[in-house]
């Protein structure tokens, strides 16, 4: 059986939450092997823990500038691991900005298909099959690879199940000879403190707020409803542009695509670009004062009314049911 | 400074977009526009040009005849000239092939800075800029929400999933920008008139020196096997708030076992 490499994202020695599903995806296609790129001297990711998640071999590339170059160390490590492993049919990476770009470059370096934002993978006699969603889930696309190594980035939260535990044997790889020109990372401004709320991409329930909230201060109402429901917080582009919340909360065509069990749109008119990011949610609820808002066309339950009276009442009712 | 800015013609996101089940490709019969992210890419290129006297901005696109409109739009905004990769044999290219064709067009022209959008609104693969950096051996400064070029140093803020990082490199380099980079200027009448006279070079597969058995949908690395449209959503219950809508909504959620 051929090997399938998995690029491991990690921080402070801990593999990212998505690691299990990436290895599970790899196990459907072949024998999973992990690839870890780490800064020399930094806390190592436990090979044992990656073995427990299903990695047979754990390839480790340590280099002094692993954390200060844009994606080139990851590309070099994946390439070196592929050469060390020999028979590699596919490479699985997360769909984060960094991992997806490392995968894209690897596909060029090794020669192979690059398939992005994949929501399902399978393998049969004809080869590897990936499932992707086009136009915000309006179309489901199944694709294969004509030749070469398939490099596949997996949308977070889309793969169920786990791979059987494997050995997790560490093998050091040397990437010192890599000659790629890298851009320098001169400073990091990233949230290290994980939010208490679930992540937007994987949350079971998402509550999003729009321009109807009217101000950054009043946007707190969306957060209160989300917290009452144990939901993630999203926003329309209009709300982001108006400065009510951070850009990484944007749901829609040019933001995050979500498909939770329940999506609640608060004060969002539902422009087609917003719907492209949430229309594959299982149940959609909308609260908006304008009865003609296009969001009501896709809502399973819609309330035409003032969100500032409806939402507080909903929060109270939710809290009452939970207590 | 020689700046190339990459633009793509896409189906208008304001309309209904579909994939043609017979060709398994994006249906391009509806309204086509320059991708919004590329108006912003052009704006970013023009801002760099304006800050660096003696610079030239070349707009580059790959696409059918209609894609010339995307080039003209960028020229009307203020870009200086264009390159149009146009050849029936390029149709149906995947990201790997698109990056190979663009790399072939860009590699010998001595561009100091290549600026792309971070991802198109139709394919959303978000891979071509990274692939181009790999093919051209350039420093990759992608997903930038700010962009500064001073002397031969390019820097900016690169978005990451948890925030952003500051990045920097020496020219030549490849940049991709996010929608936060800048608001695109509107072409004025003089710009639109001037655009008609600006030179647009066309390049085919032969000019690019690409092997014909590697180009186009028949030779793509990723092959689409099946396309299924999602069934349309049927309308649900809409209530007008009579003072109890919040409670009714909670009842609906409870009945659906969502709370």
How does pLDDT run across B83-113, given as a tens digit for each residue?
A: 999 999 999 999 999 999 999 999 999 999 9
Provide the pLDDT for residue B255.
95
Is B53 in CB contact (< 8 Å) with chain A?
Answer: no
8 Å CB contact of A145 and B179: no
> Judged by CB atoms within 8 Å, which residues 65-124 of A form the interface with B?
70-72, 75, 96-98, 100-105, 107-109, 112-117
Residue B169 banded pLDDT, cuts 50, 70, 90: very high
| pLDDT, averaged across chain A | 95
CB atoms under 10 Å from CB of A74, counted, come to 27
Strand partners, A148: A112
pLDDT digits over B10-27, tens only? 999 998 899 998 899 999
Give the H/E segment covering residue A120.
strand A114-124
* CA distance linking residue A129 with residue A319, whole number of Å: 44
Which among A70, A129, A137 is the nearest to B167, CB-wise?
A: A70
- The DSSP symbol for B217 reads G
CA-based R_g, chain A, Å: 22
Average pLDDT of chain B to the nearest whole number: 96
Which residues on B lie below 8 Å from A314 (Cβ)?
246-247, 249-250
Mean pLDDT along residues A38-60: 96
Q: Which residues of A touch B221 (CB under 8 A)?
A: 107, 112-114, 145-148
Residue B196 CA to residue A284 CA, distance in Å, equals 48
DSSP-assigned letter for residue A250: B
Which among B126, B158, B226 has CB closest to A100? B126
Contact residues on chain B for A192, CB-CB shorter than 8 A: 162
Residues 158-217 on A with a CB inside 8 Å of B are 180-192, 205
Give strand pairing partners of B141.
B175
What tokens does A212 get?
């109807």
Per-residue pLDDT at A193: 53
Between chains, do B227 and A184 touch, taking CB under 8 Å as contact? no
Q: Which residue has the tokens 């990436």?
A: A22
Quick one: pLDDT band at residue B3, thresholds 50, 70, 90?
A: very high
Q: Largest alpha-carbon pair distance within chain A?
A: 64
Residues 176-235 on B with a CB inside 8 Å of A are 179-180, 219-230, 233, 235
pTM given for the model:
0.95
How confident is the model at residue A169, as a pLDDT? Answer: 98
The predicted-structure confidence for A177-217, as pLDDT tens digits, reads as follows: 899 999 999 999 987 555 789 999 999 999 999 999 999 99
According to the model, what pLDDT value does residue A13 have?
Answer: 93
Is the confidence at residue A29, as pLDDT, over 90? yes
Q: What is the mean pLDDT of residues A34-61?
A: 96
Contacts with A175 (C-beta within 8 Å, 6 or more apart), sequence order? A61, A63, A73, A76, A77, A80
Q: Give B212-233 pLDDT, tens digit per residue.
A: 999 999 999 999 999 999 988 8
- Distance, CA of B197 to CA of B195 (rounded, Å): 5
pLDDT at B233: 82
Work out the average pLDDT over A107-135: 96
Q: DSSP secondary structure string, A178-225?
A: ------EEEEEEE--S--SSPPTTT-SEEEEE-GGG-STTTTHHHHHH
Read off the pLDDT band of A111 (50, 70, 90): very high
Contacts of A103 (CB under 8 A, 6+ apart): A7, A78, A91, A93, A114, A116, A151, A152, A153, B127
Test A300 with B249 for CB contact under 8 angstroms.
Answer: no
Integer angstrom CA distances of residue B124 from A115, A133, A210: 11, 10, 24
Cα(first)–Cα(last) distance of chain B, in Å? 59
- Among A129, A186, A291, whose Cβ lies nearest the Cβ of B166? A186
Task: Name the helix (H) or strand (E) containing B85.
Answer: strand B81-85
Q: Is B140 on the interface with A (CB under 8 A)?
A: yes
For residue A288, pLDDT beyond 70: yes
**Residue A319 above 80 pLDDT?**
yes
A133 neighbors A95 (Cβ within 8 angstroms): no
**Residue A68 scores a pLDDT above 90:** yes
H or E element that contains A154: strand A150-154
**What value does the mean pLDDT take over residues A74-83?**
98
Among A residues 268-307, those touching chain B with beta carbons less than 8 Å apart: 272-273, 276, 279-280, 283-285, 287, 291, 296-306
Size of interface A-B (CB pairs under 8 A): 275
Give mean pLDDT, residues A66-77.
97
In this predicted structure, what is the pLDDT of residue A142?
A: 97
Averaged over A223-242, what is the pLDDT?
A: 97
Q: Tell me what pLDDT residue A1 has.
A: 77
State phi, psi for B217 to the nearest 5 degrees. Answer: -55, -35
Measure the N-to-C terminal CA separation of chain A; round to a whole number of Å: 53
* Mean predicted confidence (pLDDT) in A62-73: 96
- To the nearest whole Å, the CA of A100 is away from the closest chain B CA by 7
pLDDT at B156 over 60: yes
Picking from B64, B71, B93, the residue whose alpha carbon sits closest to that of residue B5 is B71
Question: Does the pLDDT of residue A122 top 90, yes or no?
Answer: yes
Distance of CA A264 to the CA centre of its chain: 21
**A51, A79 contact by CB (below 8 A):** no
Q: Which two tokens stand for residue B20?
A: 């043609």
Closest CA to A101 of B4, B100, B160: B160
Mind spelling out the 3-state secondary structure of A213-229? HCCCCCCHHHHHHHHHH
Tell me how far the alpha carbon of residue B226 is from its chain's centroid.
25
> What is the share, in percent, of chain B residues with pLDDT greater than 90?
94
User: How confident is the model at residue A322, as a pLDDT?
Assistant: 86
Would you call A146 and B219 a contact, using CB atoms and an 8 Å cutoff?
yes
pLDDT score recorded for residue A192: 59
Cis peptide before B49 (omega within 30 of 0): no
Residues 230-249 of B with CB under 8 A from A: 230, 233, 235-241, 243-249
Q: Is the pLDDT of residue A77 over 90?
A: yes
pLDDT exceeds 70 at position A238? yes
CA distance B253 to chain A (A): 9
What whole-number distance in Å separates Cα of residue B159 and Cα of residue B143?
A: 6
Cβ within 8 Å of residue A104, ≥6 positions away:
A114, A116, A151, B95, B125, B126, B127, B128, B130, B131, B134
CA distance B165 to chain A (A): 4
Q: For residue A280, what is the nearest residue in chain B, using CA coordinates?
A: B230
Mean pLDDT of B145-165: 95
List CB contacts (< 8 A) between A306 and chain B. Answer: 241
Q: What is the pLDDT of residue A191?
A: 77
């Amino acid at each position: 059986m051929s090997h399938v490499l998995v690029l491991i994202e990690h921080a402070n020695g801990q593999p990212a939450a998505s690691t299990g599903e990436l290895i599970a995806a790899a196990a459907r296609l072949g024998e999973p092997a992990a690839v870890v790129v780490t800064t020399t001297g930094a806390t190592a990711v436990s090979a044992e823990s990656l073995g427990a998640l299903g990695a047979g071999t754990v390839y480790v590339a340590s280099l002094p500038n692993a954390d200060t170059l844009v994606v080139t160390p990851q590309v070099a490590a994946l390439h070196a691991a592929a050469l060390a492993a020999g028979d590699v049919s596919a490479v699985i990476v997360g769909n984060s900005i960094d991992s997806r770009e490392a995968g894209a470059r690897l596909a060029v370096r090794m020669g192979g298909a690059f398939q992005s934002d994949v929501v399902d993978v399978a393998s049969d006699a004809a080869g590897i099959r990936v499932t992707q969603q086009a136009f915000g889930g309006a179309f489901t696309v199944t694709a294969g690879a004509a030749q070469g190594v398939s490099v596949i980035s997996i949308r977070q939260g889309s793969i169920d199940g786990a791979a059987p535990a494997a050995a997790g044997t560490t093998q050091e790889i040397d990437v010192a000879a890599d000659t790629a020109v890298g851009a320098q990372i001169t400073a990091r401004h990233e949230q290290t403190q994980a939010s208490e709320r679930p992540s937007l991409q994987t949350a079971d329930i998402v509550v999003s707020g729009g321009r109807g909230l009217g101000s950054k201060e009043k946007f707190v109402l969306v957060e209160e409803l989300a917290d009452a429901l144990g939901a993630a917080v999203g926003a329309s582009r209009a709300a982001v542009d108006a400065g009510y919340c951070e850009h990484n909360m944007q749901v829609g065509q040019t933001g995050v695509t979500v498909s939770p069990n329940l999506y609640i749109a608060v004060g969002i008119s539902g422009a087609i670009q917003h719907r492209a990011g949430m229309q594959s949610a299982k149940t959609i609820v909308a609260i908006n004062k304008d009865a003609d808002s296009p969001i009501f066309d896709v809502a399973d339950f819609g309330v035409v009314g003032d969100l500032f009276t409806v939402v507080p009442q909903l929060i109270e009712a939710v809290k009452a049911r939970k207590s | 400074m020689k700046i190339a800015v990459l633009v793509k013609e896409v189906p208008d996101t304001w309309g209904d977009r579909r994939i043609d089940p017979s060709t398994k490709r994006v249906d391009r019969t509806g309204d086509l526009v320059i991708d919004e992210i590329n108006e912003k890419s052009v704006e970013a290129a023009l801002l760099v040009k304006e800050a660096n006297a003696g610079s030239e901005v070349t707009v580059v696109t790959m696409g059918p005849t209609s894609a010339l409109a995307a080039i003209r739009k960028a020229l009307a905004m203020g870009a200086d000239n264009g390159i149009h990769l146009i050849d029936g044999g390029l149709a149906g290219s995947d990201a790997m092939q698109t990056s190979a064709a663009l790399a072939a067009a860009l590699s010998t022209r001595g561009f100091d800075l290549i600026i792309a959008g971070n991802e198109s609104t139709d394919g959303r693969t978000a891979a071509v800029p990274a692939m181009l950096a790999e093919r051209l051996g350039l420093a990759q400064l992608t997903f930038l929400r700010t962009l500064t070029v001073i002397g031969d140093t390019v820097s900016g803020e690169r978005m990451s999933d948890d925030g952003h990082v500051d990045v920097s490199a020496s020219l030549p380099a490849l940049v991709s920008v996010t929608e936060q980079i800048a608001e695109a200027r509107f072409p004025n009448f003089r710009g639109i008139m001037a655009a008609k006279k600006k030179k647009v070079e066309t390049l085919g597969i032969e000019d690019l020196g690409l092997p014909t058995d590697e180009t186009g949908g028949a030779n793509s690395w990723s092959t689409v096997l099946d396309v299924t449209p999602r069934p349309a959503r049927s309308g649900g219950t809409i209530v007008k708030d009579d003072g109890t809508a919040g409670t009714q909504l909670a009842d609906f959620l409870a009945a659906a076992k969502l709370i």
